[in-house]
Amino acid sequence: MIPERSNQAAGVAYSVGAYLLWGFLPLYFLLLVPTGPWEVVAARVVFSLVFCLLLLTVARGWRRIMAIIRQPRLLGWTALAGLLIYINWQVFLIGTLSGNVVETALGYFINPITTVLLGVFVLRERIRRLQWVAIGIALIAVVVIIVAYGSFPWIALSLTASFGTYGLIKKKIGPSVDAVSGLTLESFWLMPIAIVQLVIVAQTAGITFGTVGTWHTVLMLFTGVATAVPLLLFASGARRINLTVIGMIQFITPIMQFLTGVLLLHEPMPTERWIGFIIVWIAVAVFVIDLLRAGRRGRRTRVTPVV
């Protein structure tokens, strides 16, 4: 049996690996230029499905996926999860390839707070006072960005809404659908959309896969791996560590994306946008403080001696 401390250390390592890879994704997808976002997402769906089918074969996971297929309710949830992750992927690629990496980072900064809101209104969960404070501050930040910066952050809000709802469905499905089977089915449901997109791209801008160069073709083939590996690492980590730790680790991704947009891609950051981001970071700080306090109270409860 693996010692608890080693198990938790492995969980942290898996989770950090997942969020680091997600943080590097904008740079990876920028290497795919001149391929547009619609072709990239279609390729991501196709090659994710191929990669997952290989994993299922190697890991002998077909029995698990057949058990899911025999349950129509679970199949329906995987179809909805697939639609949501498709929206997330498409908006993320549009943001990344149109010079809006900073705004994608904003979406993932807000995402943990969006998840809390979904828990309140959908799952009827009760939340703590500091979490309400963080939600209020985040809403102020969005208003500031819309009014002061003069631009509706549709990329950020679409990303946080789609990924937050995707996480909610994953929580509802629970352990009934493992990571590989879930991603396989989600990719399968998206194949018709991917095929339609490829047909439209072929008739308009033209398919770039296999026409730009060997390196570009290899990178396109590995979009499936780049999609699946972080998800599998995250699933392995989430089973080993509590949500408090994951809640803090997940900020690695938007921090990396923000630094990529500002320092490497030199995206514009006028004063109004800085103000909006600073308010968001205040909301994030309040959220993290609440997580730390909740985690500390939980540890004290677990170690209370029995008299």
Question: What per-residue confidence (pLDDT) applies to 303?
Answer: 44
Count of CB atoms situated within 10 Å of the CB of 208? 20
Would the pLDDT of 105 be above 90? Answer: yes
Question: What per-residue confidence (pLDDT) applies to 242?
Answer: 66
For 191-247, the pLDDT digits (tens) are: 999 999 999 999 998 999 989 999 999 999 999 999 889 988 887 787 777 666 776
Would the pLDDT of 134 be above 90? Answer: no
Residue 207 lies in a domain: yes
Mean pLDDT of 290-307: 60
For 175-204, the pLDDT digits (tens) are: 788 888 888 999 999 999 999 999 999 999
Q: Which residue has the higher pLDDT, 151 or 40?
A: 40
Residue 286 lies in a domain: yes
- Parent domain of 205: 4-302
Q: What is the mean pLDDT of the chain?
A: 86
Encoded tokens for 89: 């992927």
Would the pLDDT of 127 be above 80? Answer: no
Mean pLDDT of 252-277: 91
| DSSP string computed for 261-292 | IIIIS-----HHHHHHHHHHHHHHHHHHHHHH
Number of independent structural domains in the chain: 1
Q: What one-character DSSP code corresponds to residue 149? A: S
Residue 107 lies in a domain: yes
Residue 99 lies in a domain: yes
Mean pLDDT of 258-284: 91
Task: Enter the pTM of the model.
Answer: 0.86
Q: Which residues of 99-124 are buried (b: 16+ CB within 10 A; e: fewer)?
A: ebbbbbbbbbbbbbbbbbbbbeeeee
Q: What is the rounded distance in angstroms from the CA atom of residue 255 to the CA atom of residue 26?
A: 12
Mean pLDDT of 133-159: 86
Listed in sequence order, the DSSP H helices in 59-71 are 62-69
Question: What per-residue confidence (pLDDT) applies to 298?
Answer: 61
Question: What per-residue confidence (pLDDT) applies to 205?
Answer: 87
Would the pLDDT of 304 be above 60? Answer: no
The upper half-sphere exposure of residue 157, i.e. CA atoms within 13 Å in the direction of its Cβ, equals 11
Residue 307 lies in a domain: no
Question: What per-residue confidence (pLDDT) applies to 146?
Answer: 84
The C-alpha R_g of the chain, in whole angstroms, comes to 20
